[in-house]
Amino acid sequence: MTGDGLVLSMLEAGDGRQAATVLLRTYGPSILRYLRSLLREEDAVDDAFSLFAEWAWTGISRFRGESSLRTWAFGVAWNAARRVTDEAWRKNKERLKTRDASKLAQEIRASSALELDRRSDKLEELRRELSPEEQNLLVLRIDQELSWDEIATILASASEAPSVAMLRKRFERLKERIARMARERGLLK
């Protein structure tokens, strides 16, 4: 049985705690890579991942099946990243209430540390010049290989509700901009 099938069967059986554990173990490492690509500062990544784990842990029982669990998890992670980058968050960090979620988040972070991929400094510098929304679109489509429908669902959960056509057009413009920036820096000819 796949991770999604297992989580859904646990939810149907009323075992939200075990469903959350399987969800975090299944998608936690890719969510952590996603957050690292977006936030880059390890403290912010840790905060966002902990917040993601808390929200996923407490929210899994309310999963309605309107998207895949993977899409739902990335939506939760995107909202956690947005919260962590919010000015108010930096001033008043929230404490996690669920020890199990916090413990599991730490375990996933530790096991994923070996998977950190290093990118060249010039490419990272180029990526840092993109807005958070542009970075998110790039990471979801290229790094996480999500479909346009999944990306639209994730962004809709953040009250943006873009259409698939709008996302594709935004992505095409973003690719052109990145190529232009790369040529200007001598990364492309």
Q: Which residues contact 10 (CB under 8 A, 6 or more apart)?
A: 16, 18, 19, 22
Please choose, from the candidates 59, 8, 41, 33, the residue with its C-alpha nearest in 3D space to the C-alpha of residue 145.
Answer: 33
Question: What's the length of the chain?
Answer: 189
User: Given 90, 117, 144, which residue is the final one in a domain?
Assistant: 117
- How many independent structural domains does the chain possess? 2
CA 116 to chain centre: 15
Determine the distance from the C-alpha atom of residue 52 to the mean position of all C-alpha atoms in its chain, rounded to a whole number. 9
For 70-96, the pLDDT digits (tens) are 999 999 999 999 999 886 566 665 555
CA 19, CA 56: separation in Å to the nearest integer? 10
Do 143 and 77 lie in one domain? The reply is no
- What is the domain extent for residue 41? 1-117
Q: How far apart (Å, rounded) are the C-alpha atoms in residues 66 and 134?
A: 25
pLDDT of residue 115: 44
**Spatial CB neighbours of 64, under 8 Å, sequence gap ≥ 6:** none
For tokens 């669902």, the residue is 153
In this structure, are 125 and 181 located in the same domain? yes
Same domain, 7 and 92: yes
Q: Residue 157 corresponds to which tokens in the numbers above?
A: 């959960």
Q: Per the structure block, which two tokens stand in for 151?
A: 């990306």
What local confidence, expressed as pLDDT, does residue 119 receive? 43
pLDDT in tens, 91-125: 665 555 556 666 667 666 665 554 444 445 677 77
- 3 and 63 fall within a common domain: yes
Global pTM?
0.66
Instruction: Return the H-helix or E-strand segment holding 80.
Output: helix 69-85
Q: Are 121 and 37 in contact (CB under 8 A)?
A: no
Claim to verify: residue 112 and residue 20 sit in the same structural domain: yes
